[in-house]
Amino acid sequence: MTSVAGVLSVIADFINHRLVLCYREPMPRTREQILEERRQLKAEHGSLFDATAGLLFRHDPAGINFEANPEEYRYEASKILPRLRDCQSATDVCQVMHEELVGSFDAVTAGPVERHSEAASEIWSLWQRHQQNRHGQ
């Protein structure tokens, strides 16, 4: 007869093996890669990048603004901006914001989608002005 400890050990090994197969850590980006991505975003979007990051800092949708780091939301801005071209309304922006905040933090920290409606409306307005300026309207 097999011992309980032996069976539990086999089960634990199996679970650990499955977890390793299911979860693969993304390749870490270097500081240089992150800075290059930001440079490209700024080149493409101009001041919209800084305005979006500042707006997120002001609204503090994840509750992490302790008035110490005004660049706190630069990563989220870098994830939201490329997705704005697929948005048709502030409601779409709100959904994008929520998805990116959940991805950066977690669902509890991000809170409900509705929490982001005011910031999303402001980002939508910024985006529309940016588009008009780009197309000379």
Q: What confidence score (pLDDT) does residue 43 get?
A: 81
Q: What confidence score (pLDDT) does residue 129 get?
A: 94
Place of tokens 């779409």: 92
Q: What confidence score (pLDDT) does residue 10 get?
A: 57
Other CB atoms closer than 10 Å to residue 44's CB: what's the count? Answer: 12
Q: What confidence score (pLDDT) does residue 15 get?
A: 53
CA distance 49 to 51: 5
Collapsing DSSP to helix, strand or coil, 97 comes out as helix
Other CB atoms closer than 10 Å to residue 74's CB: what's the count? Answer: 20
Q: Indicate the pTM of the whole model.
A: 0.72
CA distance 119 to 79: 15
How far out from the chain centre does Cα 27 lie? 17
Q: What confidence score (pLDDT) does residue 125 get?
A: 97
Q: What confidence score (pLDDT) does residue 34 get?
A: 78
Residues of the chain falling short of pLDDT 70: 1-2, 4-27, 137
